[in-house]
Chains A and B, each alone.
Chain A
Amino acid sequence: MAFIHNYSTISRGDTFNKGVLYSCMSTNNEVLFPNYKENIPGINLRRVSTIVKMGLANTLKCLGNKKTDAIVIGTGLGSIHNSELFLSSYIDSNQHILSPTPFINSVHNTISGEVALHTQSKGYNSTYSQGGLSFEGAVMDTILLTKERKQVILGSVDESTPTLDTILQKMNIQHLFDTGSSFFYCTDNKKKSLAEITHCIISTKNKIKSILFDLKFNINEDYIISGNSSCYPMNLDTFDYSKFCGIYMTNPSFGMQLAIEILNSSTSTCIDGYNFPDQCKRIFIINHASKTDIGIIIIKK
């Protein structure tokens, strides 16, 4: 199974430097981006999109001086900003000669490609975009890759823009999207690991009770967290972390870092009045991806 050795998140508050649990202990409304020039040395950042910068900064933090031979990333909407730029370049204006940069940057696997380019990682590389289940696709591949003895960079990025906000409001969608990115370094080596990904399941909501039963969900040791439980509520005792990172398609990755930090805490953890006792063994990240679909990622100490 996949063992997690390092992590990094860019989200509201100073998660990049202080971790996710720390920022959950206070109220933060703005995403805090790291200083990219400091954290991505040697790169010519001028043509690089926001989501790529986030992915790169997170990757380098996770890797340290280690190498990776597999990079898998999930993104729900890719670079919305560049898609908007390119769309408006050929639709509104009467330009007949178009700038290629926003087109290239709008391609979903730009993040994984740039990460490979900058780290000179010539191994496996893929990108998953399945709406609310985008991160889960990348996690499934990570489980396979660690079985194949690869050292994996697993990550997600999603961004929001004012145009996107306007559109969501016009569509009467109840929540706006946020910007966030979380990355992890995973291998098949249990030694010195922080936690393990034991399962990644995609299924339908009506099967959740039987899935939890099959996974031997134990109410005394296992806890459920979710980044969107308010979207399609279920009758399960859940800690919702969306107030700390916002809602975006790949926010289960934020949940993953949160789960790892909770499980590695030397004492019990209390966030916003919700208690994770010391004997907490597993955390289930349950993602209500749509009216019918759910994703479940299980993190174990």
Chain B
Amino acid sequence: MTVYVTGIGIISAIGMNAQENFESLIAKKTGITNIELLKNLDERFLAGEIKLTNKELAEHIFTSKKTDLPRSLLLSLIAAKEAWQTNTYNNNIRTAFIGATTIGGMDLTEQYFKSNKSIKSLNYHHCGKIAEYISNYFGINDFKTTVSTACSSAANAIILASRMIKNNIVDRVLVGGGDALTGFTINGFNSLRIYDNELCKPFDKNRNGLNLGESAAYLVLENKKSIKITKNKKIVKILGWGNANDAYHQTASSPYGEGAQTAMTEALKIANLNANDIDYINAHGTATSNNDLSEGRAIESIFGEKQLYSSTKAYTGHTLAAAGIVELIFSIFSIRHNTIFPVLNYQNKMKELKTEPVYKLRQDIEINKVLSNSFGFGGNNASIIIGE
């Protein structure tokens, strides 16, 4: 049973919707700047911040003033609406909602503890509230859940959605992730000393850590039966997926990226493809010392010395639970426009790798099949392959 992507929606620091995101990528424009809206941080941090207050975000969605919702939910509603478009509830289409988030309503929770705001805001604390709200908003009732596996959450959400469709449990899934910037996550990654105070440099010899970003990104996945009814246009297919655990350390990846290798290999196997069939890899590429080395080696061990990977995290920042779908959407752009978006801020080759990432915009090759990686804490490795 083939899984088709028929809807995409995204809001990030480089655009309010898919088209704007694409235009920024083509123009090599980064959305990473000094944080302005998020208050009470002890230091100056760079991040992919969406320069809209919660009030302004809410105005994009609601006619009445709704400023009491968590920021991740507001972002998610905007992206979900763009993806969902003209889909409606239909008795004959079994529809599920699968969400992904790391912080849930933590932005409101930390405000509560900081300044004793309304205790009612704690109602939104847990990770499942976004899924509850959005399912209700769109009338999606046949199944709902939320994946929370840190930076690989959205990728794992797609993997669950694809398997539920493949196994004929549902026909259509609205699947997506959303994580806003919070003091919690910024301070958290900074406490691990992996937060760069300059613009991040994925796969560069002198890389110094990540910059966070906020985003929400959603897809609509359907099977043929659903598409026959909805008449939605097929965008790409989800061809394969892999999920494997590194089992090496609580936060760090193994030196040669064993878990990453297994995840990518599994995805190729399910997609019934060889390494040679992959035209581009959108790497996890967070620009931490550990990830890029581990992932770079893992990619080379499977794909050899072809220069076919880049990371787009220097455009949007690391968007945590949304990253897997943000980057899958960018991979869809790659296929649609036969383009590879280069890494930004790249100057020096990593000595441990034989290859370099793509560091110039490439529009001279045909891109048909793309593999996208998302690796999280807890040794969680997820890879997804898409194609036409």
Residues of A in contact with B (beta carbons under 8 Å apart): 71, 76-78, 86-88, 90-92, 96-100, 103-104, 106-110, 112-114, 116-117, 119-134, 136-137, 140-141, 144, 147-148, 167, 170-171, 201-204, 207, 249, 290, 292-293
Residues in A neighbouring B145, C-beta threshold 8 A: 128, 130, 133-134, 136-137, 140, 202
Residues in B neighbouring A136, C-beta threshold 8 A: 145
Contact A144 B128 (CB under 8 A): no
Contact A147 B167 (CB under 8 A): yes
Cβ of B250 within 8 Å of any chain A Cβ, yes or no, is yes
B141 — nearest CB in chain A belongs to which residue? A204
CA gap between A117 and B144 in the complex, in Å:
29
Cβ of B210 within 8 Å of any chain A Cβ, yes or no, is no
Asked if A130 meets B127 with Cβ closer than 8 Å, knowing A71-B245, A100-B188, A113-B378, the reply is yes
Most chain A beta-carbon contacts within 10 A, residue among B123, B160, B167, B249: B160
Residues of B in contact with A (beta carbons under 8 Å apart): 42-43, 99, 102, 104, 109-110, 113-114, 119-120, 122-123, 125-129, 131-132, 136, 141-150, 156, 160, 163-164, 167, 169, 183-184, 187-188, 190-192, 243-251, 258-259, 262, 376-380
For residue A152, give the distance in angstroms from its CB to the closest CB of chain B.
Answer: 13
Asked if A121 meets B245 with Cβ closer than 8 Å, knowing A104-B377, A171-B123, A203-B142, the reply is yes
Most chain B beta-carbon contacts within 10 A, residue among A103, A108, A112, A116: A108
Contact B148 A116 (CB under 8 A): no
Contact A124 B377 (CB under 8 A): no
Contact A120 B247 (CB under 8 A): yes
Residues in B neighbouring A78, C-beta threshold 8 A: 127, 148
Contact B250 A109 (CB under 8 A): no
Contact B247 A86 (CB under 8 A): no
Residues in B neighbouring A90, C-beta threshold 8 A: 42, 183-184, 187
B110 — nearest CB in chain A belongs to which residue? A87
For residue A294, give the distance in angstroms from its CB to the closest CB of chain B.
Answer: 11
Quick one: which of B110, B122, B187, B246 contacts A167, CB cutoff 8 A? B122
For residue A145, give the distance in angstroms from its CB to the closest CB of chain B.
Answer: 9
Contact B128 A109 (CB under 8 A): no
A119 — nearest CB in chain B belongs to which residue? B247
Contact A131 B129 (CB under 8 A): yes
Contact B250 A113 (CB under 8 A): yes
Contact B131 A130 (CB under 8 A): yes
Residues in A neighbouring B136, C-beta threshold 8 A: 292
CA gap between A137 and B109 in the complex, in Å:
25
Residues in B neighbouring A76, C-beta threshold 8 A: 126, 128
Residues in A neighbouring B122, C-beta threshold 8 A: 167, 171
Residues in B neighbouring A167, C-beta threshold 8 A: 119, 122
Contact A129 B128 (CB under 8 A): yes
Residues in A neighbouring B169, C-beta threshold 8 A: 140, 144
Contact A130 B128 (CB under 8 A): yes
For residue A195, give the distance in angstroms from its CB to the closest CB of chain B.
Answer: 21
A141 — nearest CB in chain B belongs to which residue? B160
Contact B127 A88 (CB under 8 A): no
Most chain A beta-carbon contacts within 10 A, residue among B102, B246, B377, B378: B378
Residues in A neighbouring B379, C-beta threshold 8 A: 113, 116-117, 125
CA gap between A133 and B110 in the complex, in Å:
24
Residues in B neighbouring A201, C-beta threshold 8 A: 143
Asked if A122 meets B258 with Cβ closer than 8 Å, knowing A100-B188, A130-B145, the reply is yes
Contact B113 A117 (CB under 8 A): no
Residues in A neighbouring B113, C-beta threshold 8 A: 87-88, 91-92
